[in-house]
A = this chain, B = another copy of it.
Amino acid sequence: MSEDSPIFLRLNFDGRPRFGPGKAALLEVIRDQGSITRAGKAMGMSYKRAWSLVEEMNGMFAEPLVESSRGGADGGGARLTQAGVTVLAAYRALEQKAAEAGVAEMAVLRGLLGDMSERR
């Protein structure tokens, strides 16, 4: 699912930092770009913001989700650990299952939406 998904899930584990669509997307872009800095740039995020989200994710689970090596011409590489791959997959599966389970409710809600274009 993408940022256009009708349902965003944000997970809240007993006062830990939350895990939601922004962190999931960041993990995917790090996986694809092989670098936290490049992933941040691709998402229009500052270097500092991307690193701070990674540190938050790494700190909330028993194992880090992202492994990185600093240095080198492009600021070092990064990749998802096995824990990172598992967390991302579980989150995406959860999104998918929630969307499937909620089809009837989403239809009810969509049926109640107004025509915004008429109001302008």
Contact = CB atoms under 8 A, between A and B. Distances in A.
A87 to B, nearest CB: 6
A101 interface: yes
Given A7-B12, A97-B102, A87 B63 contact: no
Contacts of A62: 112-115
Contact of A109 (B5, B90, B98, B113): B90
Contact of A105 (B8, B60, B91): B91
A47 to B, nearest CB: 25
Given A59-B119, A116-B16, A106 B86 contact: no
Interface in A57-94: 59-63, 83, 86-87, 90-91, 93-94
8 contacts: A8-B20, A10-B10, A60-B114, A61-B112, A87-B112, A90-B109, A94-B106, A98-B102
